[in-house]
Amino acid sequence: NKDIEYIKSLITDHPDFPQPGILFRDIFPVFRNATATEMLFNRLQTLIQSKHGKIDALIGLESRGFLFAHLATRLNCAFVPVRKAGKLPGKVTTFSYSKEYGKDVIEIQVDSIKQGDRVVMIDDLLATGGTLSAANSLVSSLGAQVLESVVVIELVALKGRNILNHPVSSLIQY
């Protein structure tokens, strides 16, 4: 598809970032291009609405998942951030996990979603799946139903989707 190819052409590679041996795929150049950003948001909105209809919340993962907060207004739902530990006020629940280059702890505000909410998680990239898996544990612990994770980029060779217990959609695969 022409839209996806155009978006992919704007993604830049940064070898050995943030540490040696990692090839970082940078989505920020897409957001510097209004046409590409509109194409991306249209694709994401269509994907989510066609598969799930009305959802209650879009869960954005720290930090590039926050770039998609505006998509929640297009989907007429709440935007709920999942952040690194210590970044959210109020009562939170946390989850500790390993990721591709270290360990991390994420948190979500306990009053941000309700029992039975239908949610979609969103992030820029799926690598080993650790962050999405941890976020799924957080969201599920609050009683919400994770319908799917949606990512712009999937690093297929790392097989991150294999550790997830919910569907995953990716627009671009490497």
Tokens of 7: 């978006």
Is 118 tagged catalytic?
no
Catalytic residue among 25, 62, 64, 83: 64
Is 107 tagged catalytic?
no
Judging by beta carbons within 10 Å of its beta carbon (0-12, 13-18, 19+), is residue 164 exposed, middle or buried? middle
Catalytic residue among 43, 74, 100, 118: 100
- 153's CB contacts (< 8 A; 6+ apart) are 11, 25, 27, 124, 125, 126, 170, 171, 172, 173, 174
- 1's CB contacts (< 8 A; 6+ apart) are none
**DSSP assignment letter at 110:** T
* Consecutive H or E run containing 41: helix 34-52
Instruction: Quote the CA–CA distance of 62 and 82 in Å, as a whole number.
Output: 6
- 37's CB contacts (< 8 A; 6+ apart) are 30, 31
- Active-site positions read 64, 100
